[in-house]
Amino acid sequence: MKNACVLLAMLAIALAGCSRDAGKQVGQVTVGFSQVGAESEWRTANTASVKSALVAPGFDLKFSDAQQKQENQIKALRSFIAQRVDVIAFSPVVESGWEPVLREAKAAGIPVVLTDRAVKVSDASLYASLIGSDFIEEGRKAGRWLLQDSTGKPGPIRVVELQGTVGSAPAIDRMKGFHEVIDTDPRFKLVRSQSGDFTRAKGKEVMEAFLKAEGGHIDVLFAHNDDMAIGAIQAIEEAGLTPGKDIRIVSIDGVRGAFEAMKAGKLNATIECNPLFGAQLAQLIRDVHAGKPVPKRIVVEEGVFTQDQAAAALPGRKY
Amino acid sequence: MAETTGTMAASSAISSRWGRGLRRCLAHPLLWPLLTLILLLAGNGLFNPGFLALQWRDGHLYGNLIDIAHRAAPLALVSLGMTLVIALRGLDISVGAVLAIAATVAAWTIGHVSNDGLLPLWLAIAAALAAGALCGLWNGWLVVGAGMQPIVATLILMVAGRGIAQSISGGQILTLYYAPYSFLGNGFVLGLPFSLFVVAAVFALLQLALRKTALGLFVRAIGHNPQAAHVAGVRARAITLGAYVFCGIAAALAGLLVSSNVNSADANNAGLLLELDAILAVALGGSLLGGGRFSLAGSLLGALIIQALTTTIYAIGVPPQVNLAVKAVLVFAVMLLQSPLCRGQLRALLRLRAERRA
């Protein structure tokens, strides 16, 4: 009798163990995802998109917020390795310093997918793929929009540029792409270019100085992100000019505020920098887990939005 | 060159009343900051003819000079608080973070009160100032009550403050669509930006408190020698605590101006590195960073000099990669100009050359 009891208890424990295992269904992929933080609306939208795409039954997501610190992120990656997840995905806070932890993941046989930002490593086999925006292409798109919008307009067209944070990858690449396109047309003259640190306050302050220095002879503003454009719009209005008409404005990101400004006719176009790549990421993770060959670089699908699309697109914007 | 040194020697030789007056004027502590500012603006005027122009547009003054004063207002407010704290041998490096907290608290308040009438405006101002005062109280308590070194005590809030602000804002930039609030940072009174009146009011109140009561004397006494002041019966602890609270409130006021200027509160970037600019403004204004000797008017001039430098950089079109280097060189030159030792050596050098030539 006593033995039967023990047997029964053991059976119960074994069954419980079984049922816990049953929680992980066949074919379910366990993913450890480490996000940069929650520093902007863009990032928050990115997190929401990833979380909503990597859901049961296909995925078991272990999410970790690094609060913009590399050490937190390395800790998170180590804990994913210890938990033996199937795939690790992360958006690196900085470019360098990833070699050791990526080698640990490789040794454990866990493939790594990078999202949004790149890493600098000596051995490219340390990660499977990088999915994210192509900042140079975004700059080119802004340039192309401007070319198209300026057809038939006589030169010289005086352009001012609000750059992002000096030395940051988006600032360098967006500038490069934009110049690649507009430098082919001699009508365009870049009269001022200064950093506005990606913020509204600096964008407004620098635009004020531009307007005074150029005496109002500015035809086009290119801002490396929407927030600086939103700040600059206020400066243009305070100078007694009409943003969107007297000065045509194109910026990058496609945040909600930009759509509101376009709807009000104050911003002409925004180039989408799409954070909603959760579904694309989910497909990539499935392929990587299945051992299929994947491209080393996957560019997110991104559009160009202009004023006439703004009102229709605004209610659907998630960020 | 020989002529100027000649007149200089002559002027120092004259001991008439006129000469004495001139010398007193030269020895005035505000002369050098003022001269620096005038030189900077005049240099800009030469370089860029339209720079000093003022226009009347849409019922207010419009021009670079107005921009400089308007943009310097938040820094000027913070510098006033910083001056008082530094005069008492302290330092507050949390002002940038406190500014961000106040800005976020104000935006959060407006977002959670129905947008009718002026009630949300007053609530937002009261909440922001209360948050600033609370931050100042915390800093002051750490310094006075817990006996921490000021730089360490305020470092805590400097690091934690942006986290607090972000948790209030939920990590987002809070955008405001409430017109009355926007008046604080964008409105005009009598053709001048409203922010200038805020600075003037705080400055006048502070001058009144320091000049018309014994408070100014106490502050100097504590700054020069805390032990002696204590023995003489000055309530050093209460006064120091009060200075930190005032500094917090000043930073909160600056936060209101900054956030209302762009109709949004950015917990990550509002007032970033402002503490360093504020300390620089205090130093440029001729206050002693070791405490004791201080000048509120000097700090205002210091804030104007810093903003004039920034606007100059934008106006002359320096490439953004070298912005900070250019600013550093200009600050270095200004500091050399203001150093009595350096000026003395320069004068001696000139005299030597003049003597050799003679």
Chain B residues touching residue A41 (CB < 8 angstroms): 172-173
Query: B283 φ, ψ to 5°?
Result: -65, -45
Strand partners, B60: B57
B345 CB near a chain A CB, below 8 Å?
no
The CATH number for B27-357, chosen from 3.30.160, 1.10.3470, 3.40.50, 1.10.12, is 1.10.3470
A:B CB pairs within 8 Å: 80
Query: B294 φ, ψ to 5°?
Result: -150, 160
Are A20 and A50 in contact by the 8 Å Cβ rule? The answer is: no
Task: Quickly list DSSP for B13-60.
Answer: H--SHHHHHHHHHHH-TTHHHHHHHHHHHHHHHHHSGGGG--EEETTE
Task: Please report, for residues A238, A240, B54, B180, the alpha-carbon distance to residue B57 in angstroms, rounded to integers and kept in the order given.
Answer: 9, 8, 9, 21
Stretch 62-81 of chain B: residues touching chain A, C-beta under 8 Å: 62-64, 67, 71
Chain A residues touching residue B67 (CB < 8 angstroms): 208-209, 212
Stretch 223-262 of chain A: residues touching chain B, C-beta under 8 Å: 227, 230-231, 234, 238-240, 257
pLDDT, position A312: 78
d(CA B341, CA A52): 66
Are A179 and A148 in contact by the 8 Å Cβ rule? The answer is: no
A65 CB near a chain B CB, below 8 Å?
no
Average pLDDT of chain A is 87
Are B90 and B82 in contact by the 8 Å Cβ rule? The answer is: no
d(CA B165, CA B157): 11
Residue B173 is classified by DSSP as P
Interchain pair A166, B321: CB under 8 A? yes
Residues whose CB is less than 8 angstroms from the CB of residue B34 and which lie 6 or more positions away in sequence, other chains included? B301
Q: Is the backbone of residue B120 left (phi > 0), alpha (psi -120 to 50) or beta?
A: alpha
d(CA B89, CA A167): 38
Best mutation target, B256, B314, B318, to test chain A (most A CBs within 10 A): B314
d(CA A236, CA A228): 12
Query: B225 φ, ψ to 5°?
Result: -155, 95
Nearest to A215 among B50, B166, B311 (CB): B50
Q: Tell me: pLDDT of A157 over 80.
A: yes
pLDDT, position B46: 87
If you measure CA to CA, which chain B residue comes closest to A37?
B171
Q: For chain A, what is the radius of gyration of the CA atoms?
A: 24
**CB-based burial, B252-263: b 16+ in 10 Å, e otherwise:** bbbbbbbbbbbb
Residues whose CB is less than 8 angstroms from the CB of residue B115 and which lie 6 or more positions away in sequence, other chains included? B177, B178
d(CA B287, CA B275): 16
Nearest to B71 among A205, A210, A231 (CB): A205
If you measure CA to CA, which chain A residue comes closest to B166?
A39
B315 CB near a chain A CB, below 8 Å?
yes
Packed helices B64-87 and B194-212: angle between N→C axes, nearest 10 degrees: 30
B6 CB near a chain A CB, below 8 Å?
no
d(CA B218, CA A217): 55
Are A232 and A207 in contact by the 8 Å Cβ rule? The answer is: yes
Are B246 and B137 in contact by the 8 Å Cβ rule? The answer is: no
Stretch 151-190 of chain A: residues touching chain B, C-beta under 8 Å: 163, 166-167
If you measure CA to CA, which chain B residue comes closest to A319?
B172
Tokens of A271: 């180039």
Helix (H) or strand (E) holding A34: strand A29-35
Interchain pair A166, B317: CB under 8 A? no
A199 CB near a chain B CB, below 8 Å?
yes
Interchain pair B320, A240: CB under 8 A? no
Interchain pair B262, A166: CB under 8 A? no
Stretch 212-271 of chain B: residues touching chain A, C-beta under 8 Å: 258, 261-264, 266, 268-270
Residue A195 is classified by DSSP as E
Are B65 and B285 in contact by the 8 Å Cβ rule? The answer is: no
Chain B residues touching residue A35 (CB < 8 angstroms): none
pLDDT band for A40, please (50, 70, 90 cuts): low
Q: Tell me: pLDDT of A15 over 70.
A: no
d(CA B334, CA B327): 10
Interchain pair B67, A227: CB under 8 A? no
For each of the domains in chain A, give its residue range(s) and CATH number, in order of start: 28-133+275-301 (3.40.50.2300), 135-273 (3.40.50.2300)
Number of other residues whose CB lies within 10 A of the CB of residue A303: 12
Chain A residues touching residue B49 (CB < 8 angstroms): none
Tokens of A102: 């990526």
Nearest one of B155, B173, B135 to B258, comparing CA atoms: B173
Tokens of B123: 């609530």
Nearest one of B139, B140, B129 to B102, comparing CA atoms: B129
d(CA A233, CA A218): 13
Chain B residues touching residue A160 (CB < 8 angstroms): none
Nearest one of B198, B215, B81 to B139, comparing CA atoms: B81
d(CA A130, CA A299): 8
d(CA A229, CA A221): 8
Interchain pair A240, B172: CB under 8 A? no
d(CA B273, CA A307): 37
Residues whose CB is less than 8 angstroms from the CB of residue A166 and which lie 6 or more positions away in sequence, other chains included? A195, B320, B321, B323
CA of A105, closest CA in chain B: separation in Å?
Answer: 31
Residues whose CB is less than 8 angstroms from the CB of residue A89 and which lie 6 or more positions away in sequence, other chains included? A31, A32, A33, A34, A50, A112, A113, A114, A115, A281, A285
CA of B314, closest CA in chain A: separation in Å?
Answer: 6
Tokens of B12: 């120092």
Write the single-letter amino acid at B144.
V
Average pLDDT over residues A158-168: 89
Strand partners, A193: A161
Chain A residues touching residue B323 (CB < 8 angstroms): 166, 194-195
Nearest to A209 among B166, B173, B314 (CB): B314
Per-residue pLDDT tens digits of chain B, which is 358 residues long:
444 444 555 545 555 777 777 777 777 778 888 988 998 899 888 888 788 888 888 788 888 899 999 999 999 999 999 999 999 999 999 999 999 999 999 999 998 887 677 888 999 999 999 999 999 999 999 999 998 999 999 999 999 998 899 889 887 788 888 888 989 999 999 999 999 999 999 999 999 999 999 999 999 999 999 889 989 989 999 999 999 999 999 999 999 999 999 988 888 888 888 999 999 999 988 888 888 889 999 999 999 999 998 988 888 888 888 888 888 887 888 778 777 788 788 888 888 888 887 6
Q: Is the backbone of residue B114 left (phi > 0), alpha (psi -120 to 50) or beta?
A: beta
d(CA B310, CA B303): 11
Tokens of B173: 């930039």
B295 CB near a chain A CB, below 8 Å?
no
User: Which tens digit of pLDDT belongs to each residue from A170-226?
Assistant: 888 999 999 999 999 999 999 999 999 888 999 999 999 999 988 879 999 999 999
CA of B96, closest CA in chain A: separation in Å?
Answer: 14
If you measure CA to CA, which chain A residue comes closest to B258?
A201
pLDDT, position A3: 56
CA of B342, closest CA in chain A: separation in Å?
Answer: 34
Write the single-letter amino acid at A6.
V
Q: Tell me: pLDDT of A17 over 50.
A: no
A270 CB near a chain B CB, below 8 Å?
no
B314 CB near a chain A CB, below 8 Å?
yes
Residue A165 is classified by DSSP as S
Interchain pair B320, A193: CB under 8 A? yes
B167 CB near a chain A CB, below 8 Å?
no
Interchain pair B64, A209: CB under 8 A? yes
Nearest to B320 among A163, A204, A234 (CB): A163
pLDDT, position B350: 85
d(CA A249, CA B102): 32
Q: Tell me: pLDDT of A6 over 60.
A: no
pLDDT, position A4: 54
Interchain pair A212, B64: CB under 8 A? yes
Rounded to a whole number, what is the distance in angstroms from the first to the last CA of chain A?
65
pLDDT, position B324: 84
**Segments in chain B forming alpha helices (H):** 2-13, 17-27, 31-47, 64-87, 95-111, 119-140, 150-169, 179-186, 194-212, 215-224, 226-231, 236-261, 274-284, 296-316, 323-338, 340-357
Tokens of A155: 């030169």
If you measure CA to CA, which chain A residue comes closest to B58?
A240
Interchain pair A194, B166: CB under 8 A? no
Q: Tell me: pLDDT of A2 over 70.
A: no
Dihedral angle sign, alpha carbons of residues A151, A154, A156, A157: negative
pLDDT, position A24: 55
| Coil, helix or strand at residue A66 | coil
Write the single-letter amino acid at B28.
H
pLDDT, position A87: 95
Write the single-letter amino acid at A203.
G
Strand partners, A298: A131
pLDDT, position A20: 40
